[in-house]
Chain A
Amino acid sequence: MKSKLDQLSGLLSIIAIAIAVITFFIDLSDVLRFSPELIGIIFLIAGSFLSGMYSSRIVKRLRKLPHAPRVFLSYRSEDRSIALEIANALRNSGAKVWDAYEQIQPGEEWVAQIDEALADTDTFVAVLSDVPSEWISHELELAKNYSLPIIPVLTRKFILPTDLGKLSYVDLSVDKEDGINRVVEAST
């Protein structure tokens, strides 16, 4: 019964829109006749329909306009204090930082959120230590799929995994302040 009512409301809404559009156009043509204004209005309506239809393409173009750099910060919860220092330095230099701890609230679905955030990211910063993390590896894989520039940041000296071995890294165990500055420079 409820689904039938729902179907009926859909059908009625289409009829109502058709009636509204016809009445609006009769009203317009009655007052404006076939003047340049009416032709302009028809083009404007068609243009607004097309801009909605091709909204994905328009948005893709708009995304290329200059904007604040967006940085995705990936780290183990044990490295949160150093990750926070990096995030603060990045934010102070005008970057927008995505930090799962801040963005995802307890009980929220996180896989889609991480994927969505990575789609909008300009640089991926991975804070790594000698303890491997399944989630950092997962996020790194996604970042590679999006062809993002990856900056490995080492909290202590260790040999990078083979898939990151070719990348130049920042070692915070040598000089933390200088290392954070290098991350900021490379990301912004």
Chain B
Amino acid sequence: LLCGSNVQEITMLFEEFLSSSIFKYFIFPIGSALLGIAIKYVARNDQYAKFKKEDLAVGLELIRTACLMYVVLTTDRAISLLGVNEELAEVLANPNLDATRASLLQAQAQELTSKISSAGWSIALMFLALWAVSTIVRKWGWKSETEMKPIPGIAIPFSLGILSLIVVMLGASK
């Protein structure tokens, strides 16, 4: 039976697992890729056909997911920065100034600002990578109308997709 302390313990263990390097840099990207492959296979129109190598071509979807995750993460940070600045303004406006609290909020605001200032370039770079990989797949990735080439069509986008997800997870935990 689950009592209150047990639930709290399980929640803590789960949170610890979700913030661990193993989850962020290995389980999350591999899981996303496997889920993408499974969805592609299950949702395929031609259910008669067996598993095809083209089902493994989920690299572009992974890069796209990473790009959007980074945009959401940056927006989230911008909202946090607004909140911190508002709080700092309130503290500074108070006649009985709490210097410790003010310096803490200022440090937080500085940290968030530095993260947001580099986010623009990171987002631009990620979308550039998405365009570049799409171009490579379109130009050199197809053997025939339905069949893909293993290296430019599957391997390059797949490995870059995994790399982009890792970079986003790294950016989120920085």
Q: Which residues of chain A (43-76) have a CB below 8 Å from chain B? A: 44-46, 48-56, 58-59, 62-63, 67, 70
Judged by a CB distance under 8 angstroms, whether A120 is at the interface is: yes
Evaluate whether A120 and B158 lie within 8 angstroms (CB atoms) in the complex, with A44-B29, A44-B30 already known.
no
13 sampled A-B residue pairs with Cβ under 8 A: A6-B139, A10-B135, A10-B139, A13-B132, A13-B133, A20-B126, A28-B166, A44-B26, A44-B30, A49-B158, A52-B150, A55-B53, A63-B50
Q: List residues of B whose CB falls within 8 A of some A CB.
A: 21, 25-26, 29-30, 33, 46-53, 55-56, 59, 125-126, 128-129, 131-133, 135-136, 139-140, 146, 150-151, 154-164, 166-167, 170, 174
Please state if B125 and A40 are interface contacts (CB–CB under 8 Å): no
B56 and A52 within 8 A (CB): yes
Residues of A within 8 A of B52 (CB): 59
A48's contact among B33, B55, B125, by CB below 8 Å, is which? B33
**How many pairs of A and B residues are in contact by the CB < 8 Å rule?**
127
Classify chain A: how many residues form its interface, as a range.
Answer: 35 or more
A78 within 8 Å of B by Cβ? no
Whether B49 pairs with A120 at a CB distance below 8 angstroms is: yes
Interface check A27, CB cutoff 8 A: yes
Cα distance A120–B150 in the bound complex, in angstroms: 20
Q: How far is the CA of A6 from the CA of B136 in the complex (A)?
A: 11
Interface membership of A103, Cβ < 8 A = yes
Of B25, B33, B126, most buried by chain A (CB within 10 Å of CB) is: B25
A51: B residues at CB distance < 8 A: 56, 155, 158
Residues of B within 8 Å of A10, CB to CB, are: 135-136, 139-140
Given A10-B136, A16-B132, CB of A53 within 8 Å of CB of B155: yes
Q: A24-B164, A44-B162, A49-B155 are in contact. Are A67 and B26 (CB under 8 A)?
A: no
> How far, in Å, is B63 (CB) from chain A's closest CB?
10
A37–B25 CB distance below 8 A: yes
- Could you tell me the distance between the alpha carbons of A117 and B163 in the complex, rounded to whole angstroms? 36
Which of A20, A50, A54, A62 meets B51, CB within 8 Å? A62
User: A16 CA to B127 CA in the complex, in Å?
Assistant: 10
Q: Which of chain B's residues have a CB closer than 8 A to the CB of A117?
A: 48-49
Q: Are A40 and B25 in contact (CB under 8 A)?
A: yes
**Min CB–CB distance A60 → chain B (angstroms):** 9
Which chain B positions have C-beta within 8 A of A103? 46, 48
